[in-house]
Structure 1
Amino acid sequence: MSHLHFQPTGGAAGDMILASLISAGAPLEEVSSLLQGLGVPFELSSERADVSGLRALHVRVTHPREHSHRTLEDVVGLISNSSLPRRVVERSLAAFRRLAEAEGAVHGVPPEEVTFHEVGAVDSIVDTVGSCVALELLGVESVSCGPLPLGHGTVSAAHGPLPVPAPATLEILKGSRVYWTEEPRETTTPTGAALMQSLTSGEFTESPPPMTLRSIGYGAGTAILSHAPNLLRAAVGELEGPSGSLEILEANVDDVPGELLGSAVDRLLEAGAPDAWLEPIVMKRGRGAYKLCALAESGDRERLISLMMRETGTLGVRHRRVGRSVASRRVVTVELPYGECRVKVGELDGEVFSVAPEYADAERLSRESRVPLPRLYEDARAAFRAAE
């Protein structure tokens, strides 16, 4: 599985993220071509930047001057009605919704009533959606990022001067690991924070999972920093071995019939969730309920969350990144006196440690042959050992 790790040495902004991904191998022409599906006029160009002796890339978005501001609904419509790939749409909308939630919390209004100013401009939209397009072109399935650096001072905004970090940036990064620097300027912008938080679930770590490096890119910021090179590094690679990083999705439900919850588990599995299950829980006032859970690859998170909401009516789904270690596995078919049965075989370091008949096959053969299920399990394991 392809993974990307960001090292935000100088910070993170929308243009730096896009530049690092293009520098890592996402073709500029293809990024620009796919972005035409947004239906807004713009031109995307890149130029070389030398930062501390390193060859980096800077991107520039030019467009006709605008005088209007956009609401979350405007941005969602622009992206949802485009011809962009599904995962690009999902990743882009996740970032903008996170921005709207943060701006709404800061200004005391619902996210739907937030009016984007700087973030609603064409260049910010191109930076954000373009970064998601670049991830798709690189084939990136999961993303991690180091802790984001925050500067200090003030920055000019549509509402007037604001403290650095911008209030929306801090709101977005609540619950995430960050650190303050001595830089008297904005190093991580709301757009950069929203992209990193939505792509990684806000779990920032210096140590990416083990992977075989494929490409490396450097995105350059425009300012000259006094304490660090103004660079964002993107390292793309393939995760090593069977271990990987997933996200766990959870929703507490107390008003859904059991048969609908069982159907929701089945639909999550059919939709590609590596696993899905129900847990009995006790909610407030001693009310019995269930927790619907599913594992998801990072790129499938929003799609599976939408499925959980549609199938159960829940208004919220928790998600967090989890590690997973898995054994090598294979499925073999064994011949029994009563028919064929598939057997799942688990191995560690080339040694078989688990032999488990597939329940569906075993139950069917048990019913047809009237052989007790425990005996059939024993026969299937014995047949595997004999064949090996």
Structure 2
Amino acid sequence: MMRLYLDLSYGIGGDMLLAALADAGLDLHPLAEIFRNAGLTAQLCAAPEMRSGISGKRLFLEQAGDQPLRTMPDIEALLDALPVSDAVRERSRAAFWRLAEAEAAVHGCEVDKIHFHEVGAVDTLADVVGAAWALETLGISEVRASAIPWFTGTVCCAHGELPLPAPAVVKLLDGKPVRPSSFTQEMVTPTGALLLDMLVDTYDDAGSAGPAGRLAASGLGYGARDSGGGLRVFLLEDDGAVRETVWVLESHIDHLSGEDLGRAFEGIFAAGALDVLALHGIMKKSRPAVALRVVCEDAHLTDVEAAFFRETLTLGIRRTRTERTALPRKEATMQTPWGEVRAKEYTLGGQTFIVPEDDDLAEMARRTGQSTAALRRLLMAK
């Protein structure tokens, strides 16, 4: 499996993603055949393009004859007729429903009454279905993107002159991270915003930015409009590791006894903490203290923070959102001359390792008269 990273430094348009993936090595001929056989396009290809001395690719699409404005039922009928997998069809269908809901909210009408105008044209159908098809073809398991650049100005469309970002774009970007920029032109088109809503699983935050992993390929896609440096994509080999966002809570504690600190550990773990660590040091007035550091998932943040305050009686907690990488692991067992022990099995760099559980080793050490460390070395050497 592969992971995909989108560099949104210069925004995204609907045609830029397929162009960038083609530049990274994706063959678009099967996609072109799908649309040609459906009578929607006469041509769909990505051709080399040079801008500001940098080579990339641009998507060219020629529709087959005059195409009508389409409502959501029309789009659904087209999707049902396309020879694509059910996963591609349903992902595309969900995206168009999301777009219809955004347009209906902006214009104050029923979803099935929406005529898609510019975004209902054949090129948008190709962009959306093509993106879903491309991710399936490449075996993409996760999509991550940089923060979205904010932009200003106006744009002319079927509804007249509108402020940027266009109202439908704002609806589609709801809940997504944006950053300030000096751009005064349309950097994220409605179809581009739809692709972000449809595809991206996670976005960069202040604690982690950029692609991570073994780089397999990269590409640069230009749009029909000259909006800057284009869309860069990076294909990364999936090492099986799980990348997730966690919270780190920390406070300096100089008023608890060892017994109270131990009970605080128990209470914080019971609230859902992943890990608790005490780092010893000296604070103001030369007082011995600990920096109590707690790691928890977003789902348990409220409970863990409440337990932190309750168990330690601290007056303040610093918290930081950060990213961690966890190697794939599963429960296993190890057969030994002294019986079976539970273990963790994990993979790193294509190699599999099995580590015995400490509690089982401690019990075995008591029964055999050996040390836990000696037993661990013996079992790990096998």
Instruction: Give the TM-score normalised by structure 1.
Output: 0.64
- Mapped to 2, the partners of 1:199 and 1:43 lie a distance apart of 25
What is the CA distance between 1:32 and its match in structure 2? 1.4
Distance of aligned partners of 1:51 and 1:80 in 2 relative to their CA distance in 1, 3 Å threshold: same
Q: Please identify, of 209-218 and 104-113, the stretch whose mean Cα deviation from structure 2 is larger.
A: 104-113
- Counterpart residue number, 1:212: 214
C-alpha separation in 2, matches of 1:204 and 1:198: 17
User: 3-state DSSP class of the match of 2:118?
Assistant: coil
AA in 2 matched with 1:235:
F
Decide whether the 8 Å contact of 2:344 with 2:354 is kept in 1.
no
- Which residue in the other structure is 1:243 paired with? 242
Residue pair 1:328, 1:346 contacting (<8 A) in 2 also: yes
Deviation at 1:343, TM superposition (A): 6.1
Q: Is this contact kept in 2: 1:150–1:186, CA < 8 A?
A: no
- Per-residue CA deviations over 1:134-157 (Å, capped at 9, x if unaligned) read 222222111111122233221111
Say what the alpha-carbon RMSD is for the aligned residues: 3.8
* Deviation, structure 1 residue 11: 1.3
* Pair 1:184 & 2:187 matched: no
- After the TM superposition, which residues 143-292 of structure 1 pair with which residues of structure 2 at under 5 Å, given as runs? 143-201=143-201, 203=203, 205=205, 207-208=209-210, 210-225=212-227, 229-240=228-239, 242-244=241-243
1: CA distance, partners of 2:83 / 2:343 = 41
The gaps in structure 2 that reach 5 residues or longer are: 246-322, 361-366, 368-374
- 1:244-300 CA distance string (max 9 Å, x none): 459xxxxxxxxxxxxxxxxxxxxxxxxxxxxxxxxxxxxxxxxxxxxxxxxxxxxxx
Deviation at 1:121, TM superposition (A): 0.6
- Where does structure 1 lack aligned partners over 5 or more consecutive residues? 247-321, 358-377
Closer, same or farther: CA 354–224 of 1 in aligned 2, 3 Å: same
* 1:123 corresponding residue in structure 2: 123
Q: Say which SS state the counterpart of residue 196 (structure 2) adopts.
A: helix
The reply on whether 1:104 has 2:83 as its aligned counterpart is no
With over 3 angstroms needed to count, the CA separation of the structure-2 counterparts of 1:212 and 1:25, relative to structure 1, is: same
- 1:200 to partner: Cα distance: 1.4
How far apart are 1:171 and its partner, in Å? 0.8
Percentage of identical aligned residues:
31
CA deviation digits over 1:294-341, x for unaligned, max 9?
xxxxxxxxxxxxxxxxxxxxxxxxxxxx976245446458599xxx99
| 1:97 Cα deviation from its structure 2 partner | 2.1
Mapped to 1, the partners of 2:202 and 2:355 lie a distance apart of: 38
- State yes or no: 1:3 paired with 2:6: no
Partner residue, 2:326: 325
Larger radius of gyration: 2
Contact 2:43-2:63 at 8 Å conserved across structures: yes
Equivalent pair of 1:242/1:328 in contact (CA under 8 Å)? no
Contact 1:151 1:181 (8 Å CA) reproduced:
yes
- For residue 2 of structure 1, report the CA deviation from its aligned partner: 0.8
- Aligned-partner Cα distance in 2 for 1:356–1:232: 51
Equivalent pair of 2:327/2:347 in contact (CA under 8 Å): no
1:87 aligns with 2:87: yes
Structure 2 counterpart of 1:213, one-letter code:
L
Residues 33/141 of structure 1: CA separation in 2 closer, same or farther (3 Å cut): farther
**1:342 Cα shift?**
11
3-state SS of paired residue (1:235): strand
Post-superposition Cα deviations, 1:94-151, rounded to whole Å, max 9, x if no partner, equal: 3222211211111122333322111111111112211222222222111111122233
Paired residue total: 291
C-alpha distance 98-354 of structure 1, shift in aligned 2 (>3 A): farther
Amino acid at match of 2:32: S
> Does the 8 A contact of 1:329 with 1:345 survive in 2?
yes
